[in-house]
Every structure is written in C-alpha cells, then in structure tokens.
Structure 1
Amino acid sequence: MLKLPEGVRIWMAAQPCDMRKQADGLSALVQGSLGQQPKSGHLFVFFSRRRDLVRILFWDANGYCTVSKRLEAGRFRVPEPVEGQAAVHLEARQLAELLSLVEESSAVRRREVH
C-alpha cells in the first residue's frame, strides 16, 4: 500500500502521453490538459500509448520529482476513461494495483542491449 501525506490526491491522465516529456513538459500537461496546478503536491500519473511505461510527476518542497516504471514485458491494466474526462481520480490503493497488475497476454519481451 502506498502511504501518502494527508490531503494528497492522485490524478491519472485519461489520454496517453508522449513519454519523451520530462518534468517541465509534464507540468505543462497537468496545467493545460488536466486543469490542475502542478505545484499542488498532488501526484499526476501518465501512461504511454503502448501502456508499457508510466511516469508520475509531483512537486515536493523545492522542485519537481518524476518516477518512471518501464515494463520488460506486458502492459499496465489502465482503466478505460469516461468520454470527455481529462483525468481520473485514483486512491492510493488503486495506484498501487495499477503499478503491479500487468496484462501478460500481449507480452513481448524487450531485446537486451549490451
């Protein structure tokens, strides 16, 4: 279970994100597309189009933090968004489940680069 400070909310973008974006690009998406304040201390979750990469953005006391997870095989089980909805509110338990539940049926192992 994820332990978050009191009052922290988790917002998942309903649409896939260009994962070349880093903190500044993601914060612009939070403000423009999600209609939220990126420096609010809330967590903002973005998935790639293939759903094999997730990036989480949040603001701590003095700067942006990003956390990424890329799957070697499979895809994250991302809930279907409601039409017209830019972001989905998640509970900490739901985010923990999203990060651990993977669809294996379409799993393709990445090639290792040496």
Structure 2
Amino acid sequence: MIFPSSTFKIYLATDPVDFRKGMDGLAAHVMRNFDLDPFCGAFFVFRSKGSDKTKVLMWDGTGLVLIYKRIEGRGFVWPKMQGGTVTLTKAQFEALFEGLDWGRVATAHYTHPKIA
C-alpha cells in the first residue's frame, strides 16, 4: 500500500487512458491534456477502460515512479467520465486504492483558531 503525505496534490484523470502507456507516455499525457507538470511531485491517478486497473504516476525527486494495481472483485469506484481531472484528498486516494467508494469519504475543513 502506498500512502502519500497529506501535503501532496493528488489528481485523478476521469477518462480512461491507453494502458499500454508507460511512464513517459503518461507524463506526456499529463502535460498535453491537463496542462500540469508531471515532475512537480503530485500523484497522477489513471484508470483503464475496465474498472479493475489503475496506474499512479509520481515524481519522487530522483525519477518517475509508476505503480500499477489490478483489483479483484467489482473493481475500483471511478467518477463519471467528464474529461480533465478531479482532485482527491489523501483519505479519498487511500479509499480508492483499496477499492472502496472514495466519494463517500468526508472531507474535513478545518479553521485555524484566532489568537486569543
């Protein structure tokens, strides 16, 4: 299991990508289709045409890292195909990676206390 720190940005591509693409092809896809920098340290999550496979691309400071996961059973829960990306929280990413319904994970909004 991989757990990004809560300081990392996590982008989920809503449309399926060609899963024959490797690191370089997915990095080019990020630059060309999302106008984002694949070398910024963010996590980029891609889906296959079926619901059972995902690839995660990220730059760790020394090189590109590609994680491939095929899940058994009903597959991953994906958002509606709409083009572009959806930003996930760390908790949502962890739920997605485990095959849970990440959309049901609540996102907490914290306010910092004012100086008393």
Q: Same fold (TM over 0.5)?
A: yes
Q: TM-score range by the shorter chain?
A: 0.7 to 0.9
Q: Structure 2: which amino acid aligns with 1:77?
A: V
Larger Rg: 1 or 2?
2
Partner of 2:88: 90
Letter aligned with residue 68 of structure 2? S
Partner secondary structure for residue 98 of structure 1: helix
Between stretches 10-19 and 65-74, larger displacement belongs to 65-74
Q: Measured at CA, do residues 30 and 3 of structure 1 come closer, stay the same or move farther in structure 2, by a change above 3 Å?
A: closer
Tell me the number of residue pairs that the alignment of Structure 1 and Structure 2 aligns: 100
RMSD across aligned C-alpha pairs, in angstroms?
2.0
Displaced runs of 4 or more, over 3 A: none
Identical-pair percentage: 31
Aligned match of 1:106: none
Q: Which runs of 5+ in 2 are unaligned?
A: 102-116
The aligned counterpart of 2:37 is 37
Give CA-to-partner distance per residue, 1:4-59, whole Å, 9 cap, x none.
163x1000001001111110000001101111000000000001010211000000
User: Alpha-carbon deviations, 1:59-82, whole Å to 9, x = none?
Assistant: 01211000110123321011225x
Report the TM-score when normalising by structure 2.
Answer: 0.78
Corresponding residue for residue 51 of structure 1: 51
If the length of structure 1 is used for normalisation, what is the TM-score?
0.79
- Does the residue aligned with 1:61 lie in a helix, a strand or coil? coil
Structure 1 segments unaligned to the other structure (5+ residues): 104-114
Contact 2:6 2:89 in 1 (8 A): no
2-structure distance, mates of 1:19, 1:102: 22
Residue 16 of structure 2 corresponds to residue 16 of structure 1: yes
